[in-house]
Amino acid sequence: MRYTEPKEQTVTLLRLALAQMGQHDARLNPLTFAVFYEHLAGINPRLSEAFEQAVSLQPRLDDEAVRRLHDQFVAEVDDAEAERIRGDMHKVMTEIAESAAHTGRTAGAFGAKLDGLSGALASSDTAALTPHIHEALAGTQEMQRSVESLRHQVVSSEREIARLRSDLMRTREEATRCPLTRVLNRRGFEQHLDTMLAQPPQRGTSHCLIMIDIDHFKRVNDTHGHVVGDRVIAGLGEVLRSVPPEPGMALARYGGEEFAILLPSATLPRAAQVAEAVRARARAMKLKHRQTQEVMVTVTVSAGVAAWHPGEDGHALVSCADAALYRAKESGRDRVTVA
C-alpha cells in the first residue's frame, strides 16, 4: 500500500496540502493533490527535491509543472503487474535453491559411500569390498542424475528469468508509452530528455527539441466530437512514426494535442528539416467519413525548434521550443519557426 500514514496525520496533511495548493495556479484535482500530499508527507524524497527546485524556478506552479512532477515521480508501473513479476521471480529462485540443496545432499551421501569404499580397499577383507563397490556405483548413478537435474533446472530457470526480465521491460515500456499514438507519453518524454541532456553533444552539434501542436484542434473537437479528435491525434502519431528516424531520435506526446521530438547531437538546420517533414506529412493527412468517404478534417500543425545550450536544464529547452512554437502560431500557423 502506497499511503500508510495514520488517520490523524492524513487529516493534517490534507489541510496542509489544500492550503499550499491554494497558493499555486494548478487546478485542484486528484493529480495535484497527490503531488502536494506526497511532498508534504515526506514519503517521496525524489519528488520533494524536484518540487523545491521547480518552485525556485516558478513560485506559482501551473498545471504543466504539476503534471510533470506527477508523471515523473508519482506515477508508477502497474502495481499488480509488478507484484506478479516479483512473485514469479521468487518462485524461480526458490526452485533453483531447492534443486541445489538436493544435489548437495546427494553429494554428501555419495561422499560417505566413497569413504566406506576407501576403508574397505585399505583392509584385506575382500568379502567386505563387494557391497561397498555396489554402493559406490549406485551413488555415482544417483549423483549423475542429481547433477543432470540441477543442470536442467538452471537452464530452465535462465529461460524463465529472461522471460520475466522481458515482461518487466515491457511493463516499464507501457508505463511510458501513449496507447493512442504509440509514442512516448509525458513521463517517457521527461525520462528521455533527462538522459539526452546528461550526455554532452557531439562536436559541432547540439541537442535539439521540436515542439509540435495541431492547429485549431479545439475546433475539430467542437465540430466533430472527441472520437474524431482522437483519430486526428492518433493520425499525427502515425505521421511522426513515418518520418525517417535520426540517430537517437525520440517521439512523444507531450500532452493533449501537443507533441515533441528529441534529437540528440543534431544541428538546428537538420532539426528544422525534420520539423518541416512532419508539417508537410501532416498537411497531407485527411480524415474521411467511414461511410461516405467524404473528407471531414484536413490537418495542419505548427512547430517550434530549439537547440540546447550548455548550462541550461530541460525546462529551459522546453520553454525555448514552446516560445518558437507560439511564434509559429502567431505568424499564421502551418509553419516551422526556429528559436
Q: Which residue has the higher pLDDT, 110 or 298?
A: 298
* pLDDT value of position 12: 76
Any idea which of 28-42, 138-152, 303-317 has the lowest mean pLDDT? 138-152
What is the average pLDDT across 308-335? Answer: 94
Q: Are 303 and 210 in contact (CB under 8 A)?
A: yes
Percent of the chain with pLDDT over 70: 68
Structure letter (DSSP) for residue 1 = -
Percent of the chain with pLDDT over 90: 34
* pLDDT value of position 322: 95
End-to-end CA distance of the chain: 46
Q: Are 265 and 204 in contact (CB under 8 A)?
A: no
Alpha-carbon distance of 325 to 303, in angstroms, equals: 5
Amino acid 246 reads E
Residues marked active site are found at: 257
* Look-up of cell digits 507560439: 326
For residue range 244-263, what is the model confidence (pLDDT) as tens digits?
999 999 999 998 899 999 99
- Count other Cβ atoms within 10 Å, centred on residue 198: 7
Any idea which of 18-22, 184-188, 217-221 has the lowest mean pLDDT? 18-22
User: Which grid coordinates are listed for 6?
Assistant: 495514520
For residue range 288-318, what is the model confidence (pLDDT) as tens digits?
777 777 777 889 999 999 999 998 999 999 9
| Phi, psi (degrees; rounded to nearest 5) at 266 | -125, 180
What CATH number matches the domain at 186-338, 3.40.50.2000, 3.60.15.10, 3.40.190.10, 3.30.70.270?
3.30.70.270
For residue range 70-86, what is the model confidence (pLDDT) as tens digits?
877 776 545 555 556 55
How far CA 53 is from CA of 68, 232, 309, in Å, comes to 13, 36, 20
- Which of 25, 99, 15 lies closest to 66 in space, CA to CA? 25
| Phi, psi (degrees; rounded to nearest 5) at 253 | -95, 110
* pLDDT value of position 53: 86
User: Which grid coordinates are listed for 186?
Assistant: 509525458
Most confident segment among 36-45, 98-107, 271-280, 289-298: 271-280
Per-residue pLDDT band at 1 (split at 50, 70, 90): very low
3-state secondary structure 134-170: HHHHHHHHHHHHHHHHHHHHHHHHHHHHHHHHHHHHH
What is the average pLDDT across 54-58? Answer: 87
Alpha-carbon distance of 68 to 35, in angstroms, equals: 10
How far CA 90 is from CA of 83, 85, 86, 95, 97, in Å, comes to 11, 9, 6, 9, 11
pLDDT averaged over every residue in the chain: 79
- Which of 328, 308, 304 lies closest to 317 in space, CA to CA? 308
